[in-house]
Structure 1
Amino acid sequence: MSNYLLGQGSIYVAARDANGKPKALRWLRDVSSAKIALKTSEVNHKESFSGQRATAKVITTGKEASIDLTLMEMSGENLAMATQGKLAQVTNGSITNEVLPAGLVAGDRVALKYPKVSAVAITDSTGTPVTLDPAKYQVNAEYGAIVLNDLTGVTQPLKVAYSYAALETVAIFAEGQKETFLRYEGINLAEEGKPIIVELYRVTAKPLKDLSLITDKLSDMNISADVLIDTTKPANSDLGQFGRILQGAP
């Protein structure tokens, strides 16, 4: 009976509780590639009596496992995982006096703290602050940027008041490396769509290898992760200590 593999499917990750059990699973959505690699460290002994110095003994001294993923969807959760970042939801709000850099000249472009702004007003730093005529500047509301057209008679630094919409933010390298449980629920297209499951108990993702910001095709996130030994599981059990592969009996 044949048993080939042509796989598609869904990959989920979950935080681990204090006992090493996975919590609620989170779907990574579109993952275009997932590859597991296994490696052993070995000591080879060559005999010294035959004149051939042939290998007489191979001793396994270490085991390593890893997984490479290519994530296609740039959700906040995926970006946080890929950048060892901290995901936060910023509610809509307002700023009353955001101070712009000093020494600005006509034609300069400055970025505000938040994008998606509205109701922008700029005042100067005279004793009785003067509100700038909107003709003296342009606002890019989506990106939260201001281009200054005319600063004649204006006392700097300028101060900006505005409102901003709700946002999602990922602070890069703010959380550090985390351990997760990983589960693949696959469809074997080579065998009439039979299910296949792969579980990896302790996975630590490294920061993404690259993220193409300007490109002529869909950007992806390439992530490599180490698969660590889970010593909470017996070494000789059906679960193993790194992970397991489940499929229907032949």
Structure 2
Amino acid sequence: MAVDVIKKIYRPAMTVGQVYAKPYGSAAAPMPVGNVLELGLEHTEDVQRQDDMTQLGGGTHAEVRRVTEVKVNMKIADLNVVNLARASLGTVAAIEAGEVEDEPFVATGLGILLPLLHIDPTAVVVKKGATAGAATPVAMAGNYLVKSEGIVLLDGAPGITVADKLWVSYSYGAYAAIEALTTKTPELQLLFGGLNEADSGKPVVVDIWRASQGITKTLALINKGFGALDVEGTVLQDPTKTGAGVSKYYRTRLA
């Protein structure tokens, strides 16, 4: 019976579970965020106190507490495209696979990188010559390396000299490009489908009706351990939630 759940005293908590998100106000279904290492709500209060001046020693005669802010904090372990875009206020472009013919470069030196327009090139052909039509292929061995980010001209390359005009042709696969700081802070509806490991795996479901998600504090590019996105936002009022005893902010359901 529900009254038994409400009266239950023993309820230690150690929760795991899945976090789902969708744009606030969207008719789309919530989608899993991925592995979230930490998820929490942080409440901030404005406390107004009136001193008790009726006796020696002081004390508090009256007190009013009002919640000024509720923050949501997440440490996201899966750095997928959606999470990266939200955490960097980015716009995503889906780049389809294709081919590039004769992308132009000048060998301003040896031991340098020629950054290509597209990543992870395959079937690379490097030519040199005054024009693309008159250029002839350069052997790869001893002259250059193909890397995900472009072409590295080797020091002492026998087939390439400084100021040579180079022309690079290659194929590339589909990829995503995220242009950071190009959009506003997203507003999300979040749902935590939790399981309490300290209480026989009983479910704990938390609905956060409307929350902003700020930019990640750090985007680690080189690190020894696993990367994660530390993001926080503010739980905002959802005006669509109405009725006596109905929260406009969040709801927790326990079995």
TM-score (norm 2): 0.84
Preserved CA contact (<8 Å) 1:106 1:150: no
> By how many angstroms is 1:59 displaced?
2.5
Task: Give 5+ residue unaligned stretches, structure 2.
Answer: 1-8
Distance 1:154 1:38 in 2: 62
- Matched residue of 1:116: which SS? coil
- Matched residue of 1:208: which SS? coil
- After superposition, the C-alpha distances for 1:149-188 in whole angstroms (9 at most, x for unaligned) are 2465675443322211111222222222110001000001
- Matched residue of 2:235: which SS? strand
Preserved CA contact (<8 Å) 1:121 1:131: no
- Matched residue of 1:77: which SS? helix
Q: Pick from 222, 242, 247 the counterpart of residue 254 of structure 2.
A: 247
In the alignment, which residue of structure 2 is the partner of 1:29?
34
Distance 2:27 2:33 in 1: 16
In the alignment, which residue of structure 1 is the partner of 2:78?
73
- After superposition, the C-alpha distances for 1:29-84 in whole angstroms (9 at most, x for unaligned) are 21111121111112222244435443222223542111211111121111112212
Task: Give 5+ residue unaligned stretches, structure 1.
Answer: none
TM-score (norm 1): 0.85
In the alignment, which residue of structure 2 is the partner of 1:85?
90
> Percent same amino acid among aligned pairs?
20
Structure 2 vs 1, CA of residues 45 and 98 (structure 1 numbering), >3 Å: closer, same or farther?
Answer: farther
- Matched residue of 1:78: which SS? helix
Structure 2 vs 1, CA of residues 155 and 203 (structure 1 numbering), >3 Å: closer, same or farther?
Answer: same
Preserved CA contact (<8 Å) 1:36 1:66: yes
Letter in 1 for 2:251: R
Greater CA drift, 123-132 or 220-229: 123-132
In the alignment, which residue of structure 2 is the partner of 1:190?
198
In the alignment, which residue of structure 2 is the partner of 1:142?
148
In the alignment, which residue of structure 2 is the partner of 1:217?
225
1:207 corresponds to 2:215: yes
Q: Pick from 121, 124, 129 the counterpart of residue 120 of structure 1.
A: 124
> By how many angstroms is 1:243 displaced?
0.6
Preserved CA contact (<8 Å) 2:107 2:161: no
In the alignment, which residue of structure 1 is the partner of 2:114?
110
In the alignment, which residue of structure 1 is the partner of 2:5?
none
Kindly tell me the number of residue pairs found equivalent between the two proteins: 243
Distance 1:157 1:50 in 2: 91
Question: In angstroms, what is the RMSD of aligned CA positions?
Answer: 2.4
- Matched residue of 1:28: which SS? strand
Structure 2 vs 1, CA of residues 189 and 87 (structure 1 numbering), >3 Å: closer, same or farther?
Answer: same
